[in-house]
């Protein structure tokens, strides 16, 4: 069913690109109602417009908080054109129909991003705009609602194609977008209040997101996928793609895993190589190129087809090293010109600058069917004051520092996790096994395969306690001399005795780092 548009109400905070809309409204003799800054802009552009206060016969009040909240406006939007009772009431009050609403809201996001003044932020919570949008969206059978200036062109084409009318299908699609916007806007407001009041787990939790882009595919080619931004700055996520193919779901999943680890290591040049959301190699070193080489050497087999994440600028030498292997993505805090020239030789390689990436959210969410889990991010490593030195041999301060590195990496590895390190570089990682014993075997096997000489006196970190002594016996047999683990097993005594018998050092943290 096509609906003729006679009257339109235009009220926008973003007044750009209005001219094409005003031009088509004039062409089809559609009367325009507006208020405040929008009214002034329309008049300045040379188009006729009736001010809201003149239309309603009621002046704006309360510093503009009340202007469109009036029966003449909401009745004009909400009445059912096919309902005779509604028509009689409208005729009695001499209220005309309002057939088109073009509205965008007060810039609440910008206020949050650019001001710490709570009063100013609250003043930018729009009331009249969302009320009109919801009214128009509910009554889509009779009213056209436009909430996004990106839809101006589609509205113009619709009006031209249908001689000043809109189709039911078009109105319904725009209604869906409108309800998406109002829920998004309200979600942002609710989340801002929760953040301001430090309420982590409110009774009702809304997650807002704006689509950044469609992805090549999901985890598998037969799955569709998109990425959304969940932030008051919803136009980007701080990742600047310089070159390469479009990103897939798996690429982003690996990218975020790499960025998580980098964010936990602040100062020292660090390289992280990720494969299927698990690190295959992590290394911190004063020399950037040694950092890359050591991370790669941890597991060169698994590195193939993975992603490289660096918290430093990539130069020519490092670019040459990267290009020796097939990687899907390279992340770094900028690239020099020669490095870019070298890396761009591989046309499909995604090159991404992470200089503007900042970790903002301090919670983690997992969705399943009609429910989701919400928790704090695992942002601690261990409490140094709470460390228990349970073996006869005690680690040195330098060894404790490297134990901290190993235990930190461990919390980013899928459970059950065992991480072996030597000189602030991983040399073997056992990830995601149902048995901790199996993770020990895999980690030591990796180290023997690629860096057997570094196993002697290496450090082993476990994300949770050892339920039996078999796991640490495997580690000891491979050459491990220091083990850091949470402790808490009913067999801790048995495990500690095995460590003392082997003359190795063991520290209990009391902090578990499951990562499922």
Give the 3-state secondary structure of residue 332: strand
Backbone φ and ψ of 104, nearest 5°: -130, 160
**Which residues of 358-452 form beta strands (DSSP E)?**
363-368, 371-376, 388-389, 418-421, 426-430
Question: Helix 128-138 vs helix 71-78: angle between axes, to the nearest 10 degrees?
Answer: 30
Contacts by 490-493, CB closer than 8 A, 24 or more apart: 491/466, 491/467, 492/390, 492/465
Give pLDDT, residue 408. 97
The reported pLDDT for the residue numbered 362 is: 81
Q: What is the pLDDT of residue 361?
A: 74
Model pTM? 0.88
Query: HSE on the CB side for 205, CA within 13 Å?
Result: 14
The class level of CATH for 384-508 reads alpha beta
Options 3.40.140.20, 3.30.1330.10, 3.10.20.30, 3.10.129.10; which CATH number does 238-353 get? 3.40.140.20
Burial class (CB in 10 A: 0-12, 13-18, 19+), 62: exposed
- Contact in structure between 492 and 464 (CB atoms under 8 Å): no
Topology alike, domains 3-196 and 384-508: no
> What pLDDT score was predicted for residue 512?
94
Domain ranges across the chain? 3-196, 238-353, 384-508
Give the 3-state secondary structure of residue 163: coil
- Give the chain's residues under pLDDT 70: 61, 63-64
DSSP string, 34-66: E-HHHHHHHHHTT---EEHHHHHT---BTTTTB
User: How confident is the model over 343-372, as pLDDT tens digits?
Assistant: 999 999 999 999 999 887 788 888 888 898
| CATH fold label, 3-196 | Rossmann fold (3.40.50)
Chain Cα centroid distance, residue 152: 28
pLDDT at site 360: 79
Catalytic site residues?
138, 276
Token pair in block for residue 342: 């070298």
- The pLDDT score that the predictor gives to residue 61 is 67
Distance of alpha carbon 464 from the chain centroid:
28
């Amino acid at each position: 069913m096509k609906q003729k548009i006679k009257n339109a109400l235009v009220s926008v905070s973003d007044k750009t690109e209005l001219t094409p809309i005003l031009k088509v409204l004039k062409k089809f003799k559609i009367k325009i109602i507006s208020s405040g800054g929008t009214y002034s802009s329309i008049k300045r552009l040379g188009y006729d417009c009736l001010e809201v206060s003149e239309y309603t016969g009621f002046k704006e009040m309360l510093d503009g908080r009340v202007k469109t909240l009036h029966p003449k406006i909401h009745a004009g939007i909400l009445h059912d054109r096919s309902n005779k009772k509604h028509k009689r009431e409208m005729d009695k009050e001499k209220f005309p129909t309002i057939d088109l609403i073009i509205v965008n809201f007060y810039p609440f996001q910008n206020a949050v991003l650019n001001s710490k003044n709570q009063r100013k932020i609250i003043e930018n919570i729009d009331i009249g705009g969302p009320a009109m949008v919801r009214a128009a969206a509910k009554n889509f059978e009779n009213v056209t609602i436009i909430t996004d200036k990106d839809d101006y062109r589609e509205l113009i084409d619709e009006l031209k194609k249908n001689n000043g009318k809109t189709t039911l299908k078009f109105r319904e699609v725009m209604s869906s977008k409108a309800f998406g916007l109002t829920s998004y806007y309200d979600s942002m407001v609710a989340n801002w209040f929760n953040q301001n009041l430090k309420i982590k787990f409110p009774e009702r939790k809304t997650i807002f997101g704006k689509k950044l882009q469609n992805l090549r595919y999901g985890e598998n080619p037969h799955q569709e996928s998109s990425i959304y931004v969940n932030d008051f700055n919803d136009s980007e996520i701080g990742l600047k793609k310089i070159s390469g193919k479009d990103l897939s779901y798996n690429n982003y999943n690996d990218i975020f895993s790499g960025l998580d680890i980098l964010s936990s290591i602040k100062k020292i040049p660090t390289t992280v190589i990720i494969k299927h959301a698990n690190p295959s190699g992590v290394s911190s070193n004063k020399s950037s190129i040694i950092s890359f080489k050591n991370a790669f050497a941890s597991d060169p087999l698994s590195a193939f087809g993975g992603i490289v994440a660096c918290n430093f600028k990539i130069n020519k030498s490092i670019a040459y090293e990267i290009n020796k292997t097939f990687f899907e993505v390279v992340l770094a805090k900028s690239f020099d010109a020669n490095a870019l020239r070298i890396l761009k030789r591989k046309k499909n390689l995604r090159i991404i600058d992470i200089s503007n990436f900042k970790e903002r959210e301090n919670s983690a969410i997992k969705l399943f069917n009609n429910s989701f889990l919400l928790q704090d991010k695992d942002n601690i490593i261990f409490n140094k004051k709470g460390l228990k030195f349970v073996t006869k041999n005690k680690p040195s301060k330098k060894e404790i520092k490297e134990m901290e590195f190993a235990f930190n990496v461990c919390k980013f590895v899928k459970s059950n996790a065992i991480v072996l390190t030597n000189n602030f570089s991983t040399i073997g990682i056992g990830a995601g096994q149902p048995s901790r014993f199996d993770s020990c075997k895999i980690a030591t096997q990796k180290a023997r395969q690629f860096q057997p000489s570094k196993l002697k006196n290496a450090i082993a970190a476990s994300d949770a306690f050892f339920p039996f002594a078999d796991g640490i016996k495997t580690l000891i047999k491979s050459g491990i001399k220091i083990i850091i683990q949470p402790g808490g097993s009913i067999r801790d005594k048995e495990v500690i005795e095995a460590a003392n018998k082997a003359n190795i050092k063991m520290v209990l943290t009391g902090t578990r780092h499951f990562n499922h």
